[in-house]
Chains A and B, each alone.
Chain A
Amino acid sequence: MIRYKLSKPPYTKESLRLSALSVGDRAEVFLDEGKDHFIVELKPVGKIKESELKVLAGEFLNEALTCLYRQELIRFAPELSQATAAQFLEKGFPATPPDPLEQLEPQVRIDRNRDTEELLAAARNLIR
């Protein structure tokens, strides 16, 4: 197990939680909070060397710093990224409209379904 005491600025609870995700199932991460600091414990799942645990802890701390910096950037330019993401999610996913011919002419739909069934039957013959 490895244990760190991290001061509250710059580290935030959110950055430590996000960086815990990057450790995945390689270790359990425990977080405790004091008035001006956090205590983080990394307990590896299974047996690993001390050097490997240090690398894992380094990854965790790198990720925490990257998260902090990323959050700063997002705060710096929230309008741009939020506007892009929101518009993209709203307008980027309109499904292709169904074929009007198939909607208005039931016979077209029936013919196409029959056509597809014939293809499926031919494909089954190829597989057999």
Chain B
Amino acid sequence: MSRLSEIARCPAAHKRSVGPHQFRRIGDYVLAVDDAGRFVFLSPSEYRDFLKGLKPDSPLREKLGHAGLLRDAFDFDDAAQCSAERGLLAWPGTSVHVIRLEKYGSRDVMDLGTARKVVDFVFTVPGPCVNLRLCAELTKQTWGLVWFIVQYARRKGEWHKRPVAFTWMGQSAPSVEQAEFLAAHKVDLRTEMWLSGKPKKGLVPMGVRRATALVQAPANQAAAWVDCLAEAGVESVLLATPPSDTGAFLEFYAAAIDRMLQLQGRLEIREERALGLLSGRRWLLPGHDLLSELCYAPDGGIYSSELALVMAGDGKDLLKLGQVGSTRYEDLAKSPAVRAVLAASLSENQPMCSQCAYRAFCAIPPSESLAAQGTLWGRHPSSERCSLHMAILDILFARLARTESAEALRAWMS
């Protein structure tokens, strides 16, 4: 269940003084957040004083006014700038293009003609950088595809003067020759792994800098696992929970974040979900349909995310947006699926989200709601992802509330 916090004996808000905001109790503090995601931490007594209406000489006025919480001292320029930077209208275009080179559970692979069309389509999508994630196990056939896509996209990047970044995601280790090619073309290696029990040396394949880690290890092993990943050269990790084990995962997550903050300056390792959530930009959240990710099937189908493609394999292709070669990028806006995904991504319209303190930071990918609950909108009061995001944001904001860890966390985010 989602949890919205309450403060006992909260006075009614002073209508002329208190600006629109949401609040949440975090440890000894009350977090107050405005619509644009500007926030302050107050003690419960300060928060009550604020609700009752601050006196003109109150020392809290400056702190609260800067966060946009005082109606009579509202900084419209700052609020507008903050909204413009974080709102959907500042979306720079899809940041990650996931290209699935082989079908799930079969040996059917993309053909070279389709691969060319996919790259051509990707280069019509606006955005500061073209970020391609190639997903496949390395076989002779898929290696030919990886080789072509990297070379072709690199050339297109030069022709169109756009930076291109590559990630290859798979379990099989590349040969020496393949590893040399990938290194020469700055292809980041990403792997998926299970963290269970104590860390084992050699778990992270050579050259892997990014990882998705499914956590089954106890919290007291979190620091050891973070050290293990960082020492193996992993710079960016997405910590994920296997279904039905969220409580243990969160203990691990909190300990892992603390260790990552401690390691700063010696070994750099960051957690992707934390960075995405704290940025307040929905398009930086890993796996968010269309906003952060588009996915291409081996047959050239365009899907709103990788999860949408996985669901299509089970016969649910609601989130298929088109076909490379026949769909133009500008046609996507007319697609009913895109409109539905967009509507479901607006948290202002969502029950619970509309009154949540974390509304400016959080979003749940519609494909995930569809997969878990059968509805694109999601029923957030009973959504596991909602509970997970709230708990993770509690962990992160608890660290932002304390001066010493706040500085480390801000440096880590930058």
Contact = CB atoms under 8 A, between A and B. Distances in A.
A and B from one complex:
yes
Interface of A: 19, 21-24, 59, 62-63, 66-67, 69-70, 73-74, 77, 80-81, 84-85, 87-96, 99, 101-102, 112, 115-116, 119-120, 122-124, 126-127
A67 B116 CA distance: 42
Contact-size category for B: 35 or more
B348 A80 contact: yes
Contacts of A21: 374-375
What does DSSP make chain B's interface, helix, strand, loop or mixed?
helix
Interface stretch (B45-53, B121-129, B186-194): B121-129
Contacts, number: 121
A101 to B, nearest CB: 8
Contacts of B395: none
B221 interface: no
A91 B349 contact: no
Contacts of A112: 155, 159
A56 to B, nearest CB: 10
B350 interface: yes
Contacts of A24: 316, 374
Interface stretch (B64-72, B141-149, B202-210): B141-149
Contact of A62 (B87, B140, B382): B382
A127 B138 CA distance: 12
Interface in B360-414: 373-375, 377, 379-382
Given A87-B89, A123-B145, A126-B147, A73 B333 contact: no
Interface in B301-322: 316
Closest 4 CB pairs of A and B: A127-B144, A123-B148, A126-B144, A93-B333
Interface string B85-104: 00111010100000000000
Contact of A116 (B143, B152, B328, B342): B152
Contact of A123 (B147, B346, B381): B147
A93 B329 contact: yes
B255 interface: no
Contacts of A120: 112, 116, 148
Between A59, A115, A120, A123, the greatest number of chain B beta carbons within 10 A of the residue's beta carbon is seen for A123
Contact of B342 (A19, A23, A88, A115): A88
Interface in B224-254: none
A84 B88 contact: yes
A24 B140 CA distance: 40
Given A95-B124, A123-B145, A127-B141, A73 B351 contact: yes
Given A66-B351, A124-B144, A88 B89 contact: yes
B151 interface: yes
B330 interface: yes
